[in-house]
Amino acid sequence: MTRAFRIVRRRVLQMIPVILGIVVFNFLLLHLAPGDAVDVIAGEAGAGDAGYMARLRQQYGLDQPLPLQLVRYLWNVVQLDLGQSFRQNQPVLDLILARLPATLLLMGTAMVMSILFGVVLGVIAAWRVRSLADTVISIIALLSYATPTFWIGLMFILFFSVTLGWLPTSGMQTIGTSQTGLQAAIDVGRHLLLPAITLALFYMAIYTRLMRASMLEIYGQDYVRTAQAKGLSDGRVAFKHVLRNAMLPVVTMIGLQVGALLGGSVLVETVFGWPGLGRLAYNAVFQRDFNLLLGILLLSSVMVVVANLLVDLLYAALDPRIEYR
Amino acid sequence: MKRLRAFWRHYRRNLAAVIGLAILSLVLLMALSAPLLFPTDPWEIVARPFIWPLQDWSYPLGTDMLGRNVAAGIFHGAQVSLLIGIIATIAALFVGVLVGALSGFYGGLTDDVLMRLTEIFQTVPAFIFIFVVVAIFNPSVQIIVLAVAIVSWPPIARLVRGEFIALRNRDFIQGCIAIGMNDLRIIFVQALPNALAPVIVTASVTVALAILAESGLAFLGLGDPNVMSWGTMIGAGRQVLRQAWYLTAIPGIAVLLTVLALNLIGDGLNDALNPRLRGRS
């Protein structure tokens, strides 16, 4: 059995109770919510006579004891049936999958940006510790960590779009044009730039601070002194010996931040009119579409679990000492 | 008292942390003085709309698109932000410390069950969770505090668990166990005070994150409709971003400074309370 396979197997076994817990939790939330799906439908129709509502409840199985409903709900989720959005008359899963690519594009870009800038800034700060560059980088990181994401997004719109007119204010594509190929990609890229930077800032700050601390700690270790003593160049010590080990806490943090990144994209998508999951959730709230909302909550939790699995593998690739039992 | 003075001696060496404390004191003062300085409801229309800041000294921060006093909103908003941030953090500390202490102290099955539970709450994306819960149960300060607390306790629990695992094997705890001291007494009287330093540091960051979460929620229109919140003001100002950007900028700066102050305080506490780090910058 290969090492990667063992890691995956162990992780998947660990994931099962967590996902099961989240599904049960979701179910409870749905039932604690004031009013059920039938109330929503009846409200939609304007009125509902008691007989009709009772029949509907029977049809959806809402009249059955709670444990039985839970079993049925679990069975549906296992079959990837997240129920129906009563507002949009479509399966919840279809609605989510239609919006997922936009969110993944935004999240992925923001994640790459935050890691790249965070690591580079952290390395520079640690390399020139207590210099002017270190101070400036620390201040940037502190400010980025304290700034509300949605607010800095609005300020970017004000400056780059309204005042300078460089970039579009919202959406994912220019409406009313039929571009193809490279042109279309550039158009999406122009729309993507501001939201991605907005989302990336907060996480960039986390990685900068972590990377700086982690580099400084590793610079103090004996094996680094050995590497320096045997006459390796500064660059070789920094990149071959220090950087790789200093990346480990950053990789762990990336896994921990995936969920937060998803939450952040709800806000950023709302600010920039980005047609992703966040916008879907935002609209679902105001339409009181609980099935859809809980579907989004469940699926985003599953995404976090999957992301953590990937991070584990990446971690193992970076550090061959890691062995999972 | 003597320990407090020693603590302050270490804390004040960190200039950034002292600045953070000064900003937070100012925000606290704003929150406390809000009912005195601005006795009228901050939602009330008091003047003509769109008076820019520094134009009319009766309204130093100007008025919004309906003619409400921005300064009154900022002062009352300080109350809401701090209240929600602090109460949610206290609730999260309560649950997090309890779960972490039991988990770390007993280990074994207790630890397994409690840590799986923690993992469930840590896996669900925090902001989406808060957003969904507040949307389902209708926005009110109580629900917001509850939802924020539910997502804030897992990191505290993990931290406390780690401390307790380390403490459990120390001689003085083993001694307590050997003389047959009651478990609860060992956990809360003997071990907990020794695990508190990192918890206090985390608490200041937890308050900061809670304030950010509340402002985001209010920005999306899910704040308590009965109270004036900074996030609500940003959300409203957004509608007129082009004509009157100060309506968005001012409450945002208020959030930024408050969160920044709390983070600086967290760093300062970390330096002052963690003796291993003393002497390092």
pLDDT in tens, B256-277: 999 999 999 998 888 888 765 5
Spatial neighbors of A39 by CB under 8 A, at least 6 apart, are: A48, A53
ipTM rounded to 2 decimals? 0.87
Residue-level pLDDT at B275: 62
Question: What percent of chain A has pLDDT above 70?
Answer: 90
The Cα-based distances of B253 to B74, B149, B258 in angstroms read 10, 25, 8
Mean per-residue pLDDT over chain A, rounded: 82
Name the nearest CA neighbour of A322 among A221, A245, A210. Answer: A245
Sign (positive or negative) of CA dihedral A270, A274, A276, A280 = positive
When mean pLDDT is compared across A82-91, A198-207, A307-316, B66-75, the lowest value belongs to A82-91
For residues A301 and B125, the answer to whether their CB atoms sit within 8 Å is yes
In the predicted model, what is the mean pLDDT of residues A153-164? Answer: 86
Distance between CA B173 and CA B167 in Å, rounded?
Answer: 7
Return the higher-pLDDT residue of A67 and B96.
B96
Position with higher pLDDT, B45 vs A250: A250
Burial A174-188 (b: 16+ CB within 10 A, else e): eeeeeeeeeeeeebb
Cα atoms in the 13 Å half-sphere on the side-chain side of A141? 27
- What pLDDT does A258 receive? 86
Say yes or no: A25 contacts chain B, CB-CB below 8 A: yes
Res A158: pLDDT = 87
Please state, in angstroms and rounded to a whole number, the distance separating the CA atoms of residues B163 and B273.
15
* Other beta carbons within 10 Å of B186: 19
Tell if the CB–CB gap between A301 and B212 is shorter than 8 Å. no
Is there a contact between B128 and A297 (Cβ–Cβ < 8 Å)?
yes
Phi, psi of B45 (to 5 degrees): -80, 125
In the numeric block, which tokens belong to residue B267? 């760093």
Are the C-beta atoms of residues B96 and B155 closer than 8 Å to each other? yes
Residue B139 near residue B222 (C-beta atoms within 8 A)? yes
Q: How far apart are CA A240 and CA A242, in angstroms?
A: 6
| Alpha helical stretches, state H, B171-245 | 171-178, 183-185, 192-219, 230-238
Q: What percent of chain A has pLDDT over 90?
A: 18
Choice between A181 and B156, residue whose per-residue pLDDT is larger: B156
Spatial distance between the Cα atoms of B187 and B193, rounded to a whole number of angstroms: 9
Residue type, B153: W
Residues of B in contact with A29 (CB under 8 A): 132-133, 136
CA A164 remoteness from chain centre: 30
Task: Please tell me which residue of chain A has the smallest CA distance to B250.
Answer: A151
Q: Write out residues in chain B with pLDDT < 50, as ranges.
A: 278-281
The whole-model pTM stands at 0.88
| Choice between B86 and A35, residue whose per-residue pLDDT is larger | B86
Q: Is the pLDDT of residue A268 over 90?
A: yes
User: Which residues are CB-contacts of A149 (< 8 A; sequence separation ≥ 6)?
Assistant: A198, A199, A201, A202, A264, A267, A268, B216
The answer to whether B75 and B31 are in contact (CB under 8 A) is yes
CB–CB of B255 and A21 under 8 A?
Answer: no
Contact criterion met (CB below 8 Å) for A104 and A278: no
Single-letter amino acid, residue A253? M
Farthest CA pair distance, chain B: 74
Are the C-beta atoms of B67 and B37 separated by less than 8 Å?
A: no
Average pLDDT over residues A47-58: 72
Q: How confident is the model at residue A48 (pLDDT cuts 50, 70, 90)?
A: low
Cβ within 8 Å, pair A155-B248: yes
Q: Helix B246-273 vs helix B192-219: angle between axes, to the nearest 10 degrees?
A: 170
What whole-number distance in Å separates Cα of residue A148 and Cα of residue A203?
Answer: 12
pLDDT of residue B281: 41
Q: What is the separation of C-alpha B241 from the centre of its chain, rounded to a whole number of angstroms?
A: 28
Which pair of structure tokens corresponds to residue B2? 């003597």
Distance CA A169, CA B200 (A): 42
Place of tokens 């082009």: B242
pLDDT at A283 over 60: yes
- The two tokens of residue A76 are 């549906």
Residue in A146, A270, A288 closest to B263 by CB: A146
Residue A312 in tokens: 């584990």
Q: How far is CA A89 from the centre of its chain?
A: 27
> What does DSSP say about strands A84-85 and A90-91: parallel, antiparallel, or unpaired?
antiparallel
Six-digit token string for A14: 């660990």
- Number of CB pairs, chain A paired with chain B, less than 8 A apart: 140
To the nearest whole Å, the CA of B257 is away from the closest chain A CA by: 8
Lowest mean pLDDT among A94-108, A253-267, B197-211, B265-279: B265-279
Burial A27-58 (b: 16+ CB within 10 A, else e): bebbeebeebbbbbebeeeeebeeeebeebbe
Q: How confident is the model at residue A325 (pLDDT cuts 50, 70, 90)?
A: very low
Count of Cβ atoms closer than 10 Å to residue A244 Cβ: 12
**Which residues in chain A (236-265) have CB-CB distances under 8 A to chain B?**
259-260, 262-264
* Chain A residues in contact with B208 (beta carbon < 8 A): 146
pLDDT at site A195: 93
Q: What is the pLDDT of residue A36?
A: 63
* CB contact set of B278 (below 8 Å; sequence gap of 6+): B10, B271
Q: Which residues contact A202 (CB under 8 A, 6 or more apart)?
A: A114, A144, A145, A147, A149, A264
Q: What is the pLDDT of residue B158?
A: 92
> Please, what is the Cα angle at B68 between B65 and B69, to 5 degrees?
120
Residue B44 DSSP class: S
> What is the pLDDT averaged over residues A42-48?
63
Q: Mind telling me how many Å the CA of B56 is from chain A's nearest CA?
A: 25
**Could you give the CA distance from residue A306 to residue A259 in angstroms, rounded to a whole number?**
11
Chain A hits for B248, CB-CB cut-off 8 Å, are 151, 154-155, 158
Distance CA A294, CA A82 (A): 9
